Amino acid sequence: MKKIIGILILTLALGGCQGTKFGTFIATIESAATGTVSPEAIYVAANTFDAVEVTATNYLTLKKCPINAPFCRDPVATKALIPAIRSGRVARNNALQFLKDHPSQLGTQGLYDALTSATDTIKSIMSQYKVAGVN
Amino acid sequence: MDAIISLALTLLQQVLPTLTTANASLITKIVEGLIALIPILVNEYKALLPMIQNVITALKSNGNITADQLTALDAMEAQIDAAFEQAATNAQTEDASDATKI
């Protein structure tokens, strides 16, 4: 079980954007037929964003570079990450609000796209600045 | 994180042949580096576990997300958001204070 969880952790958040890809996969199949996404896809996308936010939080708690340690926090990356997370949080909340307002109904593709796009933007920043936790 | 582990192990592999002379100082530094890595791995693992569990539960539920699941997610996200904002404030304060010193 630990191995399975470990693999999932790596694929969902630490190993890149597999979690988002999976969510995208679910959404793509459904949107091809309906132009909408399932509550499940939105829920997975929200959790994927949350995982990225946690990784960003862990990064922000590192000591500021340059220091004599294996890991440190780049102030430039910090400046880029903070607004990106806050912006993504709005997209996440909007998507989840739809789920609450319309239980068990399909969500709009736009809400889902905004959320996954925000997550991808953050991952791109993390990749650019080699933030721990992202390839 | 797997990239970092991979990089660390690759570097270690490259350095190992030079350790035949039993360079105690170098070995100490390598061990210190590995020890520094452990809490980061453990923290990351623990912190991401709830999201993984949520996804597993959702995938098992055949697309039905219950009100209870959304309420639980709300509570978890409130903590995640608060932790991020605290870390962001601390980081920005540290950066701003260093900028003033220059």
Final residue in a domain of this structure, among B32, B47, B62: B62
Whether residue A8 is contained in a domain is answered as yes
Phi-psi map region of A116: left, alpha, beta (phi>0 left; psi -120 to 50 alpha): alpha
B76 and B43 housed in the same domain: no
Burial of B44 (0-12, 13-18, 19+ CB in 10 A): buried
B21 and B2 housed in the same domain: yes
> What was the pLDDT predicted at A31?
52
> What was the pLDDT predicted at A114?
93
Distance CA A25, CA B36 (A): 37
Q: Are the beta carbons of B63 and A40 closer than 8 angstroms?
A: yes
Q: Considering chain A, what percentage of its residues have pLDDT values greater than 90?
A: 39
Give the mean pLDDT of A108-129: 91
Q: Does B47 touch chain A (CB under 8 A)?
A: yes
B43 and B84 housed in the same domain: no
Whether residue A134 is contained in a domain is answered as no
- B15 C-beta neighbours (distance < 10 Å), count: 14
Give the domain range for residue A30: 2-128
Question: Residues of B numbered 78-97 whose beta carbons fall under 8 angstroms of chain A's beta carbons: which are they?
Answer: 80-81, 83-84, 87-88, 90-92, 94-95
Rg (CA), chain A: 16
B75 and B51 housed in the same domain: no
Q: Which amino acid is at A24?
A: T
Q: Are the beta carbons of A97 and A104 closer than 8 angstroms?
A: no
> What was the pLDDT predicted at B19?
59
B72 and B58 housed in the same domain: no
- pLDDT per residue as tens digits for the range A26-81: 555 555 545 678 888 889 899 999 999 999 998 999 889 887 776 789 999 999 99
3-state secondary structure of A135: coil
- β strands within chain B, DSSP E: none
B3 and B53 housed in the same domain: yes
pLDDT at A11 over 50: no
B9 and B44 housed in the same domain: yes
> What was the pLDDT predicted at A16?
43
The total number of structural domains that make up chain B? 2
Q: Are the beta carbons of A20 and A117 closer than 8 angstroms?
A: no
Q: Considering chain A, what percentage of its residues have pLDDT values greater than 70?
A: 70
B15 and B45 housed in the same domain: yes
Distance from the Cα of A23 to chain B's closest Cα (Å) equals: 10
B4 and B38 housed in the same domain: yes
> What was the pLDDT predicted at A109?
84
* Model confidence band, residue A1 (pLDDT cutoffs 50, 70, 90): very low
Give the domain range for residue B77: 66-102
B21 and B40 housed in the same domain: yes
The total number of structural domains that make up chain A? 1
> What was the pLDDT predicted at B77?
94
Give the mean pLDDT of A104-122: 88
CB contact under 8 A, A104 and B43: no
pLDDT at A5 over 60: no
User: pTM of the full predicted structure?
Assistant: 0.71
B40 and B75 housed in the same domain: no
Question: Residues of A numbered 38-67 whose beta carbons fall under 8 angstroms of chain B's beta carbons: which are they?
Answer: 38-40, 42-44, 46-48, 50-51, 53-58, 60-61, 64
B82 and B56 housed in the same domain: no
Whether residue A135 is contained in a domain is answered as no
Distance CA A60, CA B35 (A): 20
> What was the pLDDT predicted at A9?
47
- pLDDT per residue as tens digits for the range B33-42: 777 777 777 7
How far CA B22 is from CA of A32, B11, B18, B35, B47, in Å, comes to 62, 17, 8, 20, 38
Q: In the block, which residue shows the tokens 């962001």?
A: B88
- pLDDT per residue as tens digits for the range B41-95: 777 777 888 888 888 887 777 667 888 889 999 999 999 999 999 999 999 999 9
In chain A, the residue whose alpha carbon lies closest to the alpha carbon of B70 is A100
